[in-house]
A and B are shown apart, each in its own frame.
Chain A
């Protein structure tokens, strides 16, 4: 990449303040009360606080309500096709480690049509922040059951109730080799949404954040039990995780100290659907990132390409026969 040598200088020049508006693009077309709005607000705040250069930041998404996300960010964005946001984001991050890459995906996009990519993205552990907007329902296509819909949930495709137990995105993610960051937030506790997104952003590796969010249009009362009863939200706290402000602590008394380096405990906590665990479940900063493992540190110059090509061609070259005594070009 031609930029790499000058990157430090560029970074200094560009380390300028941006206000919230600098990251705001068009007005979101999500429904009133949709949890996506809360996530967008938190992400824009994060960009401002982290002084992200808009031109060096890319939001990638697939298809679904949540995948509209990039359109509302004034950064580079790629609203792609259903289920494929992760491999596209991987291609971007791989080629351009200098870019900050975020992925916005939904429970259908990530856990259903894109499930294969999700599993492998965890293995690649590329340095990006992935936010799973999980509202337990297909919204854009108007109310079909998703893999995270709880059994019995009535939808247009499951009029007598969802037939299967819901897939748990946390246990799935925590079960994959190379997992390095897993957290969960709920849209009704915005303060924690922000703190978790900030921690995810600072983690070097594949940061997976599931945000349970409301769909006021199709499942208006679905999450009310958790909204109305703070004790059905289990806040995970730790000095290496997130800390709770006194105000929040008074409202949400169901807390548990959890060390995010403890994978076994993380898996145990993740299996609980009720109360909903909120916080950082797992963090391991020592998993290698694919883009670093695979990347050649040397600069690609025309000279180097030429040299490499000539060396390869030498291997296959049939040289003309020369007179005895003449030296043939070594291969």
Chain B
């Protein structure tokens, strides 16, 4: 595949090795966004992850995002085949992927084109480009390379051609393997990272393989470092605050899986679906070491039903899925609600509807999570906002599910699933774990739904408990779980199932407000957008704007106090990654506008005139984008008054 960026200019010869740039002074930066892109299988992901880990160990803030091709084996040198990592490095803690990229390492010009077209690169950013293609034996490839290179230069990018393969060949016979470590070495030099930490990272990453692999990778790392020291004219330094306590670096899905492990749950039933499956992959490896099990069911419905059976007879179980799978589970989720069986359902949201965008991020499932399944099926819905939250939310979800005998839906998304951010290593607590399964005898005649009139709670009876025998049913039922033919009984049961949600709500605290307690504008978000929203608020406040934000972890029930917080601001708007109609469209007005999900729910509950702004491009919302939107809004309002 040899696409090019259109260019009118002819080619020019490759520059020879650059003059040695000795005694470079490192420019101090507060942050930088780096990308490494290659064909699938060339190791850019490993390079990026290692860079993130090294920087994290030095004490830099880090947010890593995977760049994943949709196909398993995309053709080499193809735009859609770009695979790699995007790493945001910061002097302070980094809470999101940030804005456009400042520096890219690209193993060929084709993978780069996709990034340029997607608007992911900052105008004028630095591009370190493998130069081997210029001399390629296939004239088409050479021409494509030259044309693209020249176009990028014309467009103002700072393109530096680097003979990575040529340099690697001095040390290894197949430079395609190991070139990523050469690139890592260059990046260590560019960002003044500790080379010894990089060596240790390689030992850690390749330790399982043999010694010679480790050795040759370290050789390439050092070669890349030395090449960059000698040939590149620039060098950066991002100050770091050395970490005092151990941090763990995982993506959101691994964090979810570790949460499952730490929660004391025993069964995870799943069916493969992107982007949720990697959580189950990891669990399949790790869960059995603590006696847990991942059951790959024959379909999404069976996965949910298996988890319900496991929960019913033992400890609360979890099923992990994404949008389409979540839709399929609806009837079974309703059964768990009806029979009051604790269950944790994780939905790693992707773009929808239908098959949508399997690898892309979206927050489109909030309403279906809150209101899905037919009839009145109240359940708890919570959304982790950070990678760390992904871990703890599962522990909390398990506890709530078992305390209230409810279904708890945990809404993560593709952004959290594939991003990495260091957080403090969790300190295990016995209280995280599920209690042993109750097998004690109960009094003869104990009812399985002996609803408390205030909280709606009833003690769950588990098979094996003498005298507790009863038949659960998805049919309307009374306190003894007998099929209800009496209309009063149906209403009584619905009432108590609803009361449980209110009882949980009484235990929740109002979310903290980020920024000032009152002001002109309150931004409200949920899920993975937290970092980007708060970064925007910080920036706007530095400029003197009275903007704050609030992030909801519990979407159902919502804690008390939200209305009071909203009332302290002149305007309120949600920032979400699910569709809302644009008022600038000719036929859209207040009478027909479809609001974003959270905005709709807040408007309905609190009777506050809440606006919303959303973006559904499949990419995490950038803080710079929110910044521009809010600036514009504030400007418009200033002009109005």
Chain B binds chain A: yes
Spot the interface stretch: A130-138, A219-227, A316-324: A316-324
Q: How far is the CB of B105 from chain A (nearest CB, A)?
A: 22
B128 at the A interface (CB under 8 A) = no
Q: With a CB–CB cut-off of 8 A, which chain B residues contact A92?
A: 309-310, 312-313, 463
| Contact B267 A54, beta carbon cutoff 8 Å | no
Q: With a CB–CB cut-off of 8 A, which chain A residues contact B471?
A: 25, 59, 70-71, 73, 76-79
Q: With a CB–CB cut-off of 8 A, which chain A residues contact B482?
A: 26
A12 at the B interface (CB under 8 A) = no
Q: With a CB–CB cut-off of 8 A, which chain A residues contact B311?
A: 91
Q: With a CB–CB cut-off of 8 A, which chain B residues contact A2?
A: 436-437, 439
| Contact A331 B439, beta carbon cutoff 8 Å | no
Q: Which of B302-334 contact A (CB under 8 A)?
A: 302-303, 305-315, 317, 331-332, 334
Which of A1, A120, A316 is close to B302, meaning CB atoms less than 8 Å apart?
A120
| Contact B464 A96, beta carbon cutoff 8 Å | yes
B127 at the A interface (CB under 8 A) = no
Q: Which of A59, A92, A304 counts the most chain B CB atoms within 10 A?
A: A92
CA distance A137 to B330 in the complex (A): 27
Q: Which residue of B lies closest to A95 (CB)?
A: B314
CA distance A329 to B159 in the complex (A): 42
Q: How far is the CB of A178 from chain B (nearest CB, A)?
A: 13
| Contact B243 A120, beta carbon cutoff 8 Å | no
Q: Which residue of A lies closest to B448 (CB)?
A: A76
| Contact A87 B261, beta carbon cutoff 8 Å | no
Which of A88, A116, A300 is close to B298, meaning CB atoms less than 8 Å apart?
A116
A81 at the B interface (CB under 8 A) = yes
| Contact A320 B245, beta carbon cutoff 8 Å | yes
In the complex, how many residues of chain A place their beta carbon closer than 8 angstroms to a beta carbon of chain B? 66
Q: With a CB–CB cut-off of 8 A, which chain A residues contact B314?
A: 1, 95-96
Q: How far is the CB of B283 from chain A (nearest CB, A)?
A: 10
Q: Which of B53, B57, B59, B464 counts the most chain A CB atoms within 10 A?
A: B464
Q: With a CB–CB cut-off of 8 A, which chain B residues contact A78?
A: 309, 312, 339, 471-473
Q: With a CB–CB cut-off of 8 A, which chain B residues contact A160?
A: none
Q: Given A84-B332, A313-B258 in contact, is the A305-B267 Cβ separation under 8 Å?
A: no
Q: With a CB–CB cut-off of 8 A, which chain A residues contact B286?
A: 308, 312
Q: Which residue of B lies closest to A3 (CB)?
A: B439
Q: Which residue of A lies closest to B299 (CB)?
A: A116
| Contact A304 B306, beta carbon cutoff 8 Å | no
A117 at the B interface (CB under 8 A) = yes
| Contact A313 B313, beta carbon cutoff 8 Å | no
| Contact A316 B248, beta carbon cutoff 8 Å | yes
Q: Given A91-B317, A120-B302 in contact, is the A318-B243 Cβ separation under 8 Å?
A: yes
B474 at the A interface (CB under 8 A) = yes
Q: Which of B48-107 contact A (CB under 8 A)?
A: 53, 56-59
Q: With a CB–CB cut-off of 8 A, which chain A residues contact B248?
A: 313, 316-318
In addition to A78-B471, A91-B309, A117-B298, 10 A-B residue pairs with Cβ atoms within 8 Å of each other are A55-B466, A58-B313, A76-B468, A76-B471, A87-B303, A91-B317, A92-B313, A94-B310, A95-B267, A318-B53
Between A and B, 30 residue pairs with Cβ closer than 8 Å are A3-B437, A3-B439, A55-B468, A59-B471, A76-B470, A81-B335, A81-B474, A84-B335, A91-B295, A91-B306, A92-B313, A94-B267, A95-B266, A95-B267, A116-B302, A117-B298, A117-B305, A296-B293, A300-B290, A305-B261, A309-B261, A311-B289, A312-B258, A313-B425, A313-B426, A318-B247, A318-B422, A320-B57, A321-B58, A321-B194
